[in-house]
Amino acid sequence: MRRLLGPRFRGDDGDGVIRLSRICFERAGLSLRVFLLLLLPALLLAAPAARAHAFLDHASPAVGSTVRQPPAAISLWFTQELEPAFSTVTITDQSGQRVDGGDAKVDARDQTLLRASLKPLPPGTYKVSWHVVSVDTHTTEGTFTFRVAG
- Selected residue with higher pLDDT from 34 and 138: 138
Residue 52 has pLDDT above 70, yes or no: no
Q: What is the pLDDT of residue 2?
A: 46
pLDDT at 15: 55
**Per-residue pLDDT at 53:** 86
Pairing of the two strands 139-148 and 66-67: parallel
How many of the other CB atoms lie within 10 Å of CB of 82? 25
- Please report which confidence band the pLDDT of residue 22 belongs to, taking 50, 70 and 90 as the band edges: low
Give the tens place of pLDDT for each residue, 86-141. 999 999 999 999 999 999 999 999 999 999 999 999 999 999 999 999 999 999 99
Q: Is the pLDDT of residue 5 over 50?
A: no
C-alpha neighbours within 13 Å on the C-beta side of residue 73: 10
pLDDT at residue 8 tops 60 = no
Mean of per-residue pLDDT scores for the chain: 83
Lowest mean pLDDT among 13-27, 30-44, 47-61, 125-139: 13-27
Beta bridge partners of 117: 73
Q: Is 121 exposed, middle or buried (0-12, 13-18, 19+ CB in 10 A)?
A: middle
Answering whether pTM is above 0.85, one says no
Please, where in the chain does CATH 2.60.40.1220 lie? 56-148
Domain 56-148 matching CATH 2.60.40.1220: the answer reads yes
